[in-house]
Amino acid sequence: MTFYFEFENADAFATGAIGRPGERTFYLQVRAEGRTISVKCEKQQVAEMANYLRGMLNDMPEPARAVEPGIAMLESPVEQDFVLGTIGLGMDRAAMRMIVQLEEMVVVDIDDEEDLEDFLEEVEDDDEIATSVVRVLLTPDQARAFCDVADMVVGSGRPPCRWCGGPLDPSGHACPKMN
């Protein structure tokens, strides 16, 4: 399914994970105009988005009041609309808003060289592949809440091994540094 949504006044921009540590599925969620769009993503994508948004927030005035992190938590049920590919982050300084653009990952099933040639011809003829895109403008408060929740969600996974930094499993850990 291909769609394009642009939200200038989102009710919420959220993140969260579903499942047990080590088996979690991460999501980004935009709630606006009576719609909820949920995008499956990777843990590292959530962590890097939060890191980048925090850097942009450093250039903005501090909030007058404490930010409520509840606005950045997933709302159930979570129904995946697409899998995240490219992320675009920017700032609209005139409106004092952060711009987040989430683009669908393009998955191409190519079995042989002939399929690859057909695909490349199709892309060359069309100039672009139909993908879903969600673009949302965030207030500084929404971005701060997202960053706080992202830090909490990313940090609540499996504890790291003190020698190699890899995640520890309850069933054991084959540490490459202890070999």
Domains in the chain and their CATH numbers? 4-178 (3.30.2450)
Q: What is the dihedral of CA 116, 118, 120, 123, to 10 degrees?
A: -140
Q: Identify which of 8, 154, 156, 150 has the alpha carbon closest to the alpha carbon of residue 67.
A: 150
**CA angle, 67 as apex, 145 and 16 as ends, to 5°?**
25
Please state whether the predicted TM-score (pTM) of the whole model is above 0.85.
no
The pLDDT score that the predictor gives to residue 79 is 95
Strand partners, 32: 35
For residue 69, the 8-state DSSP code is G
What is the predicted pLDDT for the residue at 174? 84
Looking at residue 70, its pLDDT comes to: 84
CA–CA separation, 43 and 53 (whole Å): 16
pLDDT at residue 107 in the model: 73
pLDDT at 80 (0 to 100): 95
* Mean pLDDT per 10-residue segment, the chain (179 residues): 87 95 94 95 97 92 78 92 96 92 84 72 64 94 95 89 82 79
140: nearest Cα among 71, 48, 38, 45: 71
Return the pLDDT at 123: 63
- DSSP E strands in 23-132: the ranges are 25-32, 35-41, 80-92, 97-104
Residue 34: half-sphere exposure toward Cβ, Cα within 13 Å: 0
pLDDT for the residue 132: 92
Which pLDDT score, from 0 to 100, does residue 73 have?
93
